[in-house]
Amino acid sequence: MVKVQSLAVTVLGRVFSGASLTEVLQETWRSNPLLTPQQRGAIQDLTYGALRYYGQLDAILNLLLAKALHDLNLRYLLLINLYQLHYSKAPPYAIVDHAVTTARLLSEKRGAPGLVNAILRNFLRRSTALWGEAERDDVGKYSHPQWWIDKLRKQYPEHYEAILNADNQHPCMTLRVNTRKIEVAAYQKMLDEHGIGAGWVWGSALKLVQPLPIERLPGFSEGLVSVQDAGAQLAAPFLDIQDGMHVLDACAAPGGKSAHLMELAKIRLTALDSDVQRLTRVIDNFERLGNKPDRVICGNALHPAEWWDGELFDRILADVPCSASGVVSRHPDIKWLRRLTDVTAFADNQEKILETLWQLLKRGGKLLYITCSVFKEENGQLIKRFLQKQSDAYVLPLSHPAMDQGQLLPNASYNGFFYALFGKR
């Protein structure tokens, strides 16, 4: 457990220095190949948990400290152990003992183990009162940055608390059944025969009762099913593709939406992404599913002259880079890495991508604009500006019971997404 805690502290340190949690964990697995699956799972639990509840944990730690703690390693160690003491079922004495042992390794200060021991035992004595005091503050209550809370409160006065609470929940695991190979009901029966509980969400989406390794999914390697959020599964059907169409997925990685498009119709698909490493996942997805796109290209959607062959597209899917404020339950580091100014920067880039891709669309064609964001600067407000600039663009209606004006807010069954479908006169 000491190795697990030490590596978790290192991961948190890198994340709070600006690195992506997903990327840091992948690097950690590569540099520590002898870690067991149980150790990896424990490191993930500690880091995801500490980041998910960081606002609360940090507020409580500050209440426990008599003076500022400048040793960041000790601070991160205390945060992950406060998380364990409150949210895990491990015996408190074992958690404290492991934390004290880890402190000896992480800090050269002689008093570090005693400080960690005293703080954690003080928390155990006063936990109920401390938790209540921490939640008097917005950041301590909702475990989001104050600017984020303020923005959601202003933009969604009736729903902001539900959004913030959904962000702090463990994400569910949702499957997309490949209906070219098997019916949804037939695959759900297959799951049941393997003792795997699942419920239908909509379309081809099945939500598992309990997440599990993909290796345990029947037919996964044969391409019967993929893992994809139910909200993301709305994209391909919304684009209204037909057999024979020339289609562009402009920001394709990791390939879930591209693969879904190929499952719905026989199209000529170009899968484009600017990240060559992420494109390998797109290719792997297609190989597993048994579908092959027309082209997989490493290129920037903002610079079509570098990759476009000049043939206009019937359909374009633009799942643009965004703040990712709708997928915080899956990526809890996002809320602590983002800054208020980032939202405007993303919106500016999104508008440029949208305007560029619009020039590649046939008259009579359709473009689906997507973000995994709940911030209106990236969504409804941007759409209004785009329509003011493009006289040949109009919005086509998208109807779904879970959406309000194209916005899907996160909850226990899916992440937050925004959809806008444009037609070209």
Beta bridge partners of 420: 369
Given a contact cutoff of 8 angstroms between Cβ atoms, the answer to whether 230 and 207 are in contact is yes
Residue of 172, 251, 322, 372 marked catalytic: 372
CA 276 to chain centre: 20
**Residue pointed to by tokens 């493009």:** 390
**Active site annotation includes 372:** yes
Instruction: Say which residues have a Cβ less than 8 Å from residue 288's Cβ, sequence separation at least 6.
Output: 220, 221, 223
Number of Cα atoms under 13 Å in the Cβ half of residue 349? 15
Given a contact cutoff of 8 angstroms between Cβ atoms, the answer to whether 143 and 134 are in contact is no
Strands (DSSP E) contained in 228-359 are 246-249, 268-273, 295-298, 313-319
Given a contact cutoff of 8 angstroms between Cβ atoms, the answer to whether 294 and 269 are in contact is yes
Cα distances (angstroms) measured from residue 296 to each of 179, 228, 251, 264? 23, 20, 11, 18
What is the Cα–Cα distance from 149 to 147, expressed in whole angstroms?
5
Q: What is the DSSP letter of 170?
A: P
Identify whether 254 is preceded by a cis peptide bond (ω within 30 of 0).
Answer: yes
How, if at all, do strands 198-202 and 174-177 pair?
A: unpaired
SS (H, E, C) 312-346: CEEEEEEECCCCCCCCCCCCCCHHHHCCHHHHHHH
Q: What are 213's two structure tokens?
A: 């390794």
Q: What are 30's two structure tokens?
A: 């590569």
Q: Give the orientation angle of helix 112-134 with respect to helix 92-106, to 10 degrees.
A: 130
Catalytic residues: 372
